[in-house]
Every structure is written in structure tokens, then in C-alpha cells.
Amino acid sequence: MKKILLALGLVASFTSNAAWQVKAEQSEINFLSVKKEHIFETHLFDRFSGVLSSQGQLAVEVDLTSVNTMIPIRNERLQEFVFETTKFAKAEFIAQFDIASFEALSVGESKRAKITGEFNFHGQQRPLELSIVATKTSDGGFLVSTTEPFIIDTKKYGAQAGVDKLKELASLPSISYAVPVLFTVKLDPVSAQEKQ
């Protein structure tokens, strides 16, 4: 619990020192579900935010109540049984990395990297590594995408019972506990006026 409270405090601190922020309307966070062993479906979150400081402090926050599977009853069941949004409404990723090599990129130039941080989901905080590629944009920002999905194991985060409940309600023989996640986000520079 202390780790989670510390992470929440860091989110607030990073926000106040942000040099770049996620432009949600040009960004997307998706996750895949696998049912009946081989049926893949892609879903997304409608609300999320993120900031990156000039010191390389990254904080991303996802509103789990905004899950969008295109099926309202499934959205409700995910919120109630898997995410348990009345207790855990958000997921956060906190990381620290060397931003200088990214700032040194020319416009249109890309750099691949692995970023290791802490992921807070469903009341549990665990290390998480992301494989990304960042491209410098003409406005001084970055377009950042995963080069491969990262896997959230719902068992490790105490959400196994919720997945089992979904399987029961939908009368499915199986739903995978491993959830691949991928994203493309646009990081826009924060002006001095916006920081005030």
C-alpha cells in the first residue's frame, strides 16, 4: 500500500513538472482478449492521460471506467468484476529513463528503447518493461508506440476471480488470464503558459 500511495504522489509531482503531455485525441491504448482459445478481440480505453518531465520522469494514468469493448454489458462486467472500479478506478505506470537521447533526435528520426517502470493495477504494484519506438515530431513532441505488446497477467494482480466470473456469465469454455496491451501516444510539448 505504501508503494501505491508513493506512486500516486509521484503522478502529482510529475504533472506539475511536465515538459510533455499526452494528447489523448491523437493517442490510443488497446488491449486484447482471447476467448475459446483462439478468438481475439481488440478493446480500448476512452480516457487516459500522461506526462513526461524534462528529467525523464514518466507518469501515465488510465481511467478504467472508460473501458470500451463496443458492447455495453461487457463494459459493465469488466468494470464490476475484473477491474472492480468502485475500489480501483485507475491504473498507473511510473518510470524514470534517460530522456536526453530522445531530445537529441532530429525531426522524423526514431529511436527504439526499453523502458522499465512500476505498474499499479487492481491494488498491486509490479515492475513492467515496455518496448517502444519514439519519433521526434516537428512541434518538438514525440509519437511513441509499442514495438511489441506487453502482457498483463491478471493472476499476478489478483483479478483472476473477475475473469472467471466473466467466463461464467458469458458461458465460455475459456478466457485467457494473460492480456496483451499496446499503444500509440502523441506527446505534445507543454508551453510555459500551460504550466502556470
CATH number at residue 152: 2.40.128.110
Give the per-residue pLDDT at 8: 45
Contact between 122 and 92 (Cβ < 8 Å): no
Structural domain total, the chain: 1
Q: DSSP code of 190?
A: P
pLDDT of 193 > 50? The answer is: no
Q: DSSP code of 191?
A: P
CA pair distance 156, 160, nearest whole angstrom: 8
Give the per-residue pLDDT at 191: 73
| % of the chain with per-residue pLDDT over 70 | 89
Contacts of 7 (CB under 8 A, 6+ apart): 92, 94, 118, 120, 125
Return the half-sphere exposure (C-beta side, CA atoms, 13 A cut-off) of residue 123: 10
5 — pLDDT class (breaks 50, 70, 90): very low
Which of 32-46, 47-61, 86-100, 181-195 is the least confident region?
181-195
Three-state SS at 46: coil
Q: DSSP code of 140?
A: S
pLDDT of 11 > 80? The answer is: no
Stretch 186-190: mean pLDDT: 95
Give the per-residue pLDDT at 60: 96
Give the per-residue pLDDT at 24: 94
pTM higher than the cut 0.85: yes
Give the per-residue pLDDT at 38: 87
Give the per-residue pLDDT at 15: 53
Stretch 54-73: mean pLDDT: 96
Q: Which residue has the higher pLDDT, 8 or 73?
A: 73
Cross-strand bridge partners of residue 35: 39, 175
The boundaries of the domain holding residue 9 are: 2-195
Contact between 89 and 56 (Cβ < 8 Å): no
Contact between 170 and 82 (Cβ < 8 Å): no
Residue for grid cell 525531426 = 107
CA pair distance 10, 21, nearest whole angstrom: 15
Give the per-residue pLDDT at 61: 97
Give the per-residue pLDDT at 1: 46
Pairing of strands 57-63, 90-96: antiparallel
Give the per-residue pLDDT at 194: 56
18 — pLDDT class (breaks 50, 70, 90): confident
Strand extents, DSSP E, the chain: 18-22, 28-35, 39-45, 48-53, 57-63, 67-68, 90-96, 110-121, 124-136, 142-146, 150-153, 178-189
Helix intervals (H) in the chain: 2-16, 72-77, 100-103, 160-169, 192-195
